[in-house]
Structures are given as C-alpha cells and as structure tokens.
Amino acid sequence: MILFDKIIFGPVKSRRLGVSLGVNLLPVDAKICSFDCVYCECGFNTRIKEASIPGREQVFQALEAKLKEMVKACELPDSITFAGNGEPTMHKDFEGVIDDTLALRDQYCPKAQVSVLSNSTHMHKPGVFKALNKVDQNILKFDSALDETVHRLNRPLNKSFTTAWQIEHFKKFNGNLIIQTMFIRGMLNDGIIDNTTDEEIDAWIKALQVIRPKQVMIYTFERETPTKGMQKISLTELNEIAEKVRTITGLDVAVFA
C-alpha cells in the first residue's frame, strides 16, 4: 500500500485532474479515515496519532515553498488536490487551510483548480460545508445508494451512516459538487460484492437524479487493494454505465479507466 510521506506530494499525473499537486492533511505515517474502504490504496485504518497531523501554518508554509519552486521551474499544476492518507475534511482547521490554499493559488498559479477528494462524511459541519463550496472541484464519494453495500464496501466507522443522510446533504450543495463513484466487484468474507448490478445502478441513478451534481466521475481502482481478489471493471462496462446515466439524467459523466 502507498502512504504519502509528506504534507505536499507530487506533482503527479492524475487520470482525473491532470498535473496534480497533492496536499495531505493526515499523518505522513498512518492512514486515518471515517471510512475504511475494502479497496483503499492507502491500506486499512491505523490508530489516530494527533501529534503528527500538520497544523494550518505548517501546511501553508509547505505549500507556499512548493509553489515557489514550481513557479521558478515554470511547471505549474493543473490542480492543487486535497487527498492523501485518509479523509481531508477530518482536519480540525479544514476551512482555514482551504482559505489559505485559495489565496496561494491566486498568488502563484491562478489558473490551477483547487480540488478536494472527500468521502462526504463531514459535509454536514458548517465549516466543512462552506469550504467545500468555495473550492473549484468539490468531489464527493458515492459508491452506492444501497446502505448494505456502503457498509460492506466503504465500511463507515459510524455504523448508523445511511445513504439517505448522504443524499439529503448532497442536495444542499445545489449542484456545486462532483460525484465520484468507484466501480468494483470481488469476493469478501461475507460473499460477493458488486456495485455494478442492475439493482445497484438503478438505485444509484435515481439518487443522481435528485442530487443533480455538475459532473459524475466513474472509475475503477488503479493500484493494489488491501483486500485480495478485487476485480477492475472494464472500460466497456464503465462506458455502458456512463451512457445509461447520460440518457436517463442528462448529467455530464466522465469515465476514467
């Protein structure tokens, strides 16, 4: 599994975001997330080590230093992307960090997008909601509209987490969000997991019709997953799913395989 060993990492060439400069608001030596997805490329959750979570000032300094370096080399990022070793919105000062990042972006690389890849579990907090509304790409995870699948695939730490809650809060963005969905199938200890079945896709599309995001990103995993026996979904299948969404909802769908 891959852990990011710095606050600022990359730039990397991202399938979805182009030249992406990563910001990791989690520890550099452990993954911490409010989900524990069976496919997480950072591995499974580890114990929280508060001490190693970077403070707002530390993030500001590290990001400014890297952007200065990139400006000097004439290599500007397409996106400053919050991802890293877990869920970025769990950071205590997420809104402050986003404000700093938007200011640094305006100063050093005004054409870059500020993107957040989040699992959405903290979007109900006023500061997180405000911050997600300010960024250019508010990309929120929604792998299934069926609670049972979410609890087996994404494994939220909050056992009362429901997709109804998630959909209600997605609606509050009034379209200022991008839905990201990982399609996958495989065998878990308790049986087959597959979020591409007709039942899954029908429920997911119904939810998308209510959420009305500005885009839907669909993809399958890229690197090794901590759970063995997971299968990638082919580009052909992803394209079929995308076409179905476009036909039924008229939404913009981007496929990454």
CB of 66 to ligand SF4, least distance (A): 22
Contacts of 253 (CB under 8 A, 6+ apart): 215, 216, 217, 218, 242, 245, 246
Nearest to ligand SF4 of 38, 241 (CB atom): 38
Least distance in Å: CB of 220 to ligand SF4?
13
Q: Which of 119, 123, 162 is nearest to 142 (CA)?
A: 119
Query: For binding to ligand SF4 (CB under 6 A), which residues are involved?
Result: 33, 35-37, 40, 42, 86-87, 119, 141, 154
Q: Which is nearer to ligand SF4, 46 or 239 (CB)?
A: 46
Q: What angle do CA 237, 168, 97 make, to 5 degrees?
A: 90
In one-letter notation, the amino acid at residue 180 is: Q
Give the bridge partners for 178, in sequence order.
Answer: 139, 215
Nearest distance from C-beta of residue 97 to ligand SF4, angstroms:
17
Smallest distance from ligand SF4 to CB 107, Å: 29
| CB 65 to ligand SF4: min, Å | 25
Q: Select 114 or 150, whichever has its Cβ closest to ligand SF4.
A: 150
Which of residues 54 and 86 has its CB atom nearest to ligand SF4 in the complex?
Answer: 86
